[in-house]
């Protein structure tokens, strides 16, 4: 009887030890997977930085100017002769003057004045 209990106890301890070892192996495996993912993330960040630098170099004015001159392209730098000056019409100026004289931009919002609970604070001289 005593031997049967000992064998059952030993089998139970063996199963528990195997479960513990399996869990420890999974923990180690997950740690290695995390390290691999961190390494991959660092590689991708480095690659992103290199690509961002390459794109900013290709978009730079210096690169575009050199490429324009080296390839004899049809692109040109802008001249003062190519700039058009646009003046506002007199009607718009007249409307702006009329709005300023009428004071439409200084009219307080009457709805907010109805909803206010107290009077407006004013500074007094001594």
What is the Rg, in whole angstroms, of the alpha carbon atoms belonging to the chain? 40
Tokens of 34: 């995390």
Q: What pLDDT does 115 receive? A: 61
DSSP state of 26: H
pTM of the model: 0.44
Q: What pLDDT does 44 receive? A: 97
For every one of its 126 residues, what pLDDT tens digit does the chain have, with 9 covering 90 and above?
A: 799 999 999 999 999 999 999 999 999 999 999 999 999 999 999 999 999 999 998 888 888 878 877 877 776 667 777 777 676 666 677 777 776 776 655 555 565 566 666 566 666 776
Tokens of 24: 């420890």
Domain chopping of the chain, boundaries: 42-70
């Amino acid at each position: 009887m005593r031997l049967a209990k000992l064998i059952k106890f030993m089998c139970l301890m063996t199963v528990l030890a195997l479960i513990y070892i399996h869990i420890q192996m999974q923990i180690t495996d997950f740690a290695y997977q995390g390290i691999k993912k961190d390494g991959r993330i660092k590689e991708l960040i480095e690659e992103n930085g290199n690509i961002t630098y390459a794109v900013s170099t290709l978009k730079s004015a210096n690169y575009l100017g050199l490429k324009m001159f080296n390839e004899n392209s049809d692109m040109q730098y802008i001249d003062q002769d190519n700039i058009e000056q646009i003046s506002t019409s007199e009607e718009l100026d007249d409307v702006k003057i009329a709005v300023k004289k009428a004071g439409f931009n200084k009219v307080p919002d009457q709805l907010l004045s109805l909803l206010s609970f107290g009077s407006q604070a004013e500074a007094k001289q001594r």
